[in-house]
Amino acid sequence: MMAFALRRLVYLVPTLAGVSVLVFSTMHLSGGDPARIMLGERARPETVAALRVELGLDRPIAEQYVRYAVNLLRGDLGRSIKSHTPVTEEIAARFPATVELALAAMLLAAPAGIAAGAVAARRRGGWVDVATMTGSLCGISLPVFWLGLILILLFAVLLPETLMGLRERFGAGVPVFGFPVSGRLDLNHAPPWRTGLAILDSLLAGDARALLSTLRHLVLPAVTLGTIPLAVIARMTRSELLSELQQDYVRTARAKGASERSVTYRHALRNALIPVLTTIGLQFGYLLGGAVLTETIFAWPGIGRWLVGAVMARDFPAVQGGTLLVAVLFVLANLLVDLLYAAVDPRLRLASE
Amino acid sequence: MVSGRRRIARDVLRHRGASIGLLLVAAFVALSALSPWLSPHGPFEQDLSAAFRPPWHLPGGTADHLLGTDGLGRDILSRILHGARYSLQIGVVSVGIAALFGVFLGAIAGFFPATDNAIMRVMDVMLAFPSILLAIVIVATLGPGLINAMIAVGIVAIPQYARLVRGSVLTVRVREYVAASAALGASDLRVLSRTVMPNCLSPLIVQCTMGFATAILDAAGLSFLGLGARPPTPEWGALLHEGFQDFLSAWWVVTFPGVAVFLAVLGFNLLGDGLRDILDPRASG
């Protein structure tokens, strides 16, 4: 197992090197002088020249890459052109928000997806199966950002309006509430910042109001972001479970008199879940970097929204740093999934040895 | 061949999902072809006196603007119909780029082992990014705009095609009829194009169909972020981008363009899913 893990880790080196080259070249493939692009057409020639020297753009390209790579290995991602703060600090300030949102989305998507897929497989061909599969295909076809807008219309506009109407008719007993649509929590009761995860910070501070505010802010973005993983996981669970149900050991279990319920959930589902876990791991890696659209709609102060801002401002060091972080996380998530997979399924690591 | 094609066509029409998908895709193509004649108004035609008209069935709505108007009094229905053309174009260009380069690289990697490692490592690097992020980075490099967004969405999808074709080539290459063809003196290129590639066609057709769906979604996402088509272009993502300013007071400005994206994407997904069942019975559960 150790050898397998080490070999997989070594395989990462060329990939990560390639990622660094790709990220590095974004600034140079942009056509024209990066310093000029970043500062805009109206910048004074002296300012542009100074930035060129600061970024080392006056050096040969190979030397620039070596410098970039050495800095990377030291953990130095450069400074943002826009804010002049180190890119690592910018990322550290926003990353917890992204992690929190991704975790929440996955906590919604994984159990629901597995349950839906398992039920669909058990009632294969029945209306539950057809409904689940149709629903999941619709889920995959939804533009996430549009789903976010529709959820806002329903739960932040229509819901309070409807409740208001009911209150006018039936008196003050009807509660009026809706869901907030921007940011992570109400700044009036923000808990002291410790971990950066707002839920954890509110719990640590024992602040119930902050916790409630955080959860209310989290619901709509998490549902939006979780929809696609939910659909993907449901489809995966169904097809894996169906193929497990055709295996010999399932027939054996049935033959010795195990109930259909026990055969499905205790025997087959366990084996079917291994590839499903892979999907969950990959989707999680995806959520960490793929929350760009969701974060933009809900003004969620995470990495994704910040990256879009950096792209708009053509702030290359920020774009490079953010992209690199997301790619590395994605690759590591892949690695972790592979290792877990090998740990639970010896055939895999033996095959490659 | 003809009878094989006929059989596939018949199977598509009998398959519930695939036939609904085909219907949606056909409607999408027909609407984009006929949009100049079907649209009640020009896509850029403004009428400030008719700004924010709700859809026809609501008080204040008129039959003249079935799906309402935006803040400049432009007819939403007409803009969506014209937008279909952009999405079709995006699908064709992006899938074309992805399939062309992907098939080429995958075939080379699968057929010539010496190149395999190099090509697939590059594909691995591309797969190290979530696709929308890679597309954003490419657009950031090339500069925002509809054309660059199409290119970005296409490039991002290349590894999927390369992997698929390489896998198929690797399994087909060891078959006896391929060896026989080589033994008869066929050149590498001939073996590749005459015996290996036709056998990779089924999964490739499925991938291209689903690729249309992904391309439309990703390009709409880029335009929504302001990195693709720019307003006033009536591309669907750009319509949503513009609508984002006003959607809290006028729900119809974002609802209908989103429904259009959803139906087009759903059509390609249903068709692709059905084609997979039909072309490759083993792959379906």
Q: Do B224 and A29 touch (CB under 8 A)?
A: no
Q: How confident is the model at residue B3 (pLDDT cuts 50, 70, 90)?
A: low
Measured between CA atoms, how close is A27 to chain B, in angstroms?
A: 7
Minimum-distance CB partner of A292 among B133, B261, B270: B133
pLDDT at B30: 95
Minimum-distance CB partner of B270 among A137, A149, A308: A137
Minimum-distance CB partner of A14 among B121, B262, B266: B121
- Pinpoint the alpha helices (H) of chain B: 2-14, 16-38, 76-111, 113-127, 131-142, 146-173, 176-183, 188-190, 201-224, 236-246, 252-279
pLDDT more than 90, % of chain B? 50
pLDDT at A104: 94
Residue B187 reports pLDDT greater than 50: yes
Peptide bond between residue B232 and the one before it cis (omega within 30 degrees of 0) = yes
Beta bridge partners of A86: A79
Chain A residues with CB-CB distance to B125 below 8 A: 15, 18-19, 22
The tokens describing B232, both together, are: 């006033």
Query: pLDDT higher for B256 or A162?
Result: B256
Report chain A's terminal Cα–Cα distance, integer Å. Answer: 10
Give which of B129, B139, B235 to mutate to test A binding, by max A Cβ within 10 Å: B129
Distance (Å) of CA A138 to CA B262, B268, B270? 8, 11, 9
pLDDT at B158: 96
Measured between CA atoms, how close is A208 to chain B, in angstroms?
A: 30
CB B27 within 8 A of CB B264: no
Is pTM beyond 0.80 here?
yes
pLDDT more than 70, % of chain B? 97
Measured between CA atoms, how close is A288 to chain B, in angstroms?
A: 9
Beta bridge partners of B69: B75
- ipTM of the complex, rounded to two decimals: 0.88
pLDDT at A350: 63
Chain A residues with CB-CB distance to B131 below 8 A: 290
Chain A residues with CB-CB distance to B142 below 8 A: 29-31
pLDDT at B15: 87
* Angstrom distance (rounded) from CA A156 to CA A182: 11
* Angstrom distance (rounded) from CA A346 to CA A52: 54
Between CA B212 and CA A143, with CA A283 as vertex, the angle to 5 degrees is 40
Q: Do B129 and A15 touch (CB under 8 A)?
A: no
Q: Do B258 and A150 touch (CB under 8 A)?
A: yes
CB B129 within 8 A of CB A330: yes
Contacting B residues, span 217-256, partner chain A, CB-CB under 8 Å: 217, 220-221, 224-227, 240, 243-244, 247-248, 251, 254-255
* Angstrom distance (rounded) from CA A157 to CA B5: 51
pLDDT at A33: 73
CB B257 within 8 A of CB B242: no
- The Cβ of residue A173 has, within 10 Å, a number of other Cβ atoms equal to 7
Q: Do B137 and A326 touch (CB under 8 A)?
A: no
* Angstrom distance (rounded) from CA B136 to CA B152: 8
The domain locations on chain B are 11-37+65-284
Contacting A residues, span 161-220, partner chain B, CB-CB under 8 Å: none
pLDDT at A125: 84
Distance (Å) of CA B194 to CA A129, A222, B177, B187, B190? 41, 50, 11, 10, 6
Whether A136 and chain B come into contact, CB under 8 Å, resolves to no
State the average pLDDT over residues B137-150: 89
**Dihedral of alpha carbons A189, A191, A197, A202, sign:** negative
Distance (Å) of CA B185 to CA A256, B129, B174? 58, 43, 16
CA torsion, points A107, A110, A115, A120, in degrees to nearest 10? 150
pLDDT at B284: 44
pLDDT at B87: 93
Q: Do A143 and B133 touch (CB under 8 A)?
A: no
Query: pLDDT higher for B158 or A274?
Result: B158
* Angstrom distance (rounded) from CA A317 to CA A315: 6
Chain B residues with CB-CB distance to A289 below 8 A: 129-130, 133
| CATH numeric code, A2-31+77-351 | 1.10.3720.10
Nearest Cα to Cα of residue B283 among B172, B193, B168, B194: B168
Contacting B residues, span 109-168, partner chain A, CB-CB under 8 Å: 121-122, 124-126, 128-133, 136-137, 139-143
- Residues comprising chain B, all counted: 285
Which residue has tokens 């300013």?
Answer: B245
* Angstrom distance (rounded) from CA A282 to CA A272: 16
* Angstrom distance (rounded) from CA A223 to CA A206: 26
- Tell me the pLDDT of chain A (353 aa) as tens digits: 778 888 888 888 888 888 888 888 887 777 667 777 777 777 888 888 888 887 778 788 888 888 888 988 888 888 888 888 999 999 999 999 999 999 999 999 999 999 999 999 988 888 999 999 999 999 999 999 999 999 999 998 888 888 888 888 887 777 778 787 777 777 666 777 777 787 788 878 777 888 888 888 899 999 999 999 999 999 999 999 998 888 888 888 888 888 888 888 888 888 888 888 888 888 887 787 668 899 999 999 999 999 988 888 888 889 889 889 888 888 888 888 888 877 777 766 665 54
Chain A residues with CB-CB distance to B129 below 8 A: 19, 289, 323, 326-327, 330
Chain A residues with CB-CB distance to B270 below 8 A: 137
Q: Do A292 and B251 touch (CB under 8 A)?
A: no
Contacting B residues, span 93-112, partner chain A, CB-CB under 8 Å: none
Measured between CA atoms, how close is B249 to chain A, in angstroms?
A: 9
Query: pLDDT higher for A232 or B141?
Result: A232
Q: Chain-centre distance of CA A208, in angstroms? A: 27
Q: Do B258 and A143 touch (CB under 8 A)?
A: yes
Nearest CA in chain B to A26: B141
Between CA B176 and CA B183, with CA B178 as vertex, the angle to 5 degrees is 90
* Angstrom distance (rounded) from CA B256 to CA B261: 9
Nearest CA in chain A to B239: A146
Phi, psi for residue B75 in degrees, rounded to 5: -75, 120
Q: Give the count of Cβ contacts less than 8 A between chain A and B.
A: 134
Nearest CA in chain B to A244: B285
pLDDT at B1: 45
Q: Do B141 and A26 touch (CB under 8 A)?
A: yes
Tell which CATH architecture fits domain B11-37+65-284. Orthogonal Bundle (1.10)
Minimum-distance CB partner of B262 among A143, A314, A331: A143
Nearest Cα to Cα of residue A185 among A165, A173, A170, A201: A201
pLDDT 10s digits, B62-109: 888 889 999 888 999 999 999 999 999 999 999 999 999 999 999 999
Minimum-distance CB partner of A330 among B128, B217, B220: B128
Q: Do A289 and B133 touch (CB under 8 A)?
A: yes
Whether A290 and chain B come into contact, CB under 8 Å, resolves to yes
